[in-house]
């Protein structure tokens, strides 16, 4: 039983190693210089992990934008309310002064 498990584990590792075989590509730029690009293929698990992290990043970004927008709306509402209260206070103060004179 141990030998079968060991054999399966070895096969899994060699399969993963073949999936990660790098490919080299030489690109020639407009100015004549050469650039060597090495690409490593992803396994299905690696691609799934990358997709998951991308989705988590998108979710965090959306949450950040929502929080920022909410903060702006709250700040605007607070400013508007304080200006209304300030105007009302000035008006009532002027009325009180007019009555006392």
Q: What is the pTM of this model?
A: 0.41
72 vs 1, higher pLDDT: 72
pLDDT digits 0-9 by tens, 52-91: 877 888 888 888 899 999 999 999 999 999 999 999 999 8
**In the block, which residue shows the tokens 């920022």?**
68
- Per the document, the length of the chain is 101
Decide: residue 46, CB within 10 A, 0-12 exposed, 13-18 middle, 19+ buried: middle
57: tokens are 């990043």
Q: SS3 for 29?
A: coil
Point out the least confidently predicted range of 6-10, 27-31, 47-51, 97-101.
Answer: 6-10
Q: How far apart, in Å, are the Cα atoms of 43 and each of 34, 49, 53?
A: 29, 10, 15
pLDDT digits 0-9 by tens, 30-60: 888 998 887 776 677 777 777 887 788 888 8
Note the pLDDT of residue 62: 86
Output Rg (C-alpha) for the chain, integer angstroms: 33
Note the pLDDT of residue 54: 79
């Amino acid at each position: 039983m141990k030998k079968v498990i060991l054999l399966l584990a070895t096969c899994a590792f060699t399969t993963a190693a073949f999936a990660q075989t790098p490919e080299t590509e030489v690109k020639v730029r407009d100015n004549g210089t050469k650039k060597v690009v090495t690409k490593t293929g992803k396994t299905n698990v690696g691609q799934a992990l990358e997709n998951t992290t991308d989705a988590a990043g998108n979710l965090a970004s959306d949450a950040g934008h929502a929080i920022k927008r909410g903060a702006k709306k709250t700040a605007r509402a607070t400013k508007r309310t304080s200006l209304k209260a300030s105007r009302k206070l000035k008006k009532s103060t002027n009325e009180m002064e007019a009555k006392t004179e």
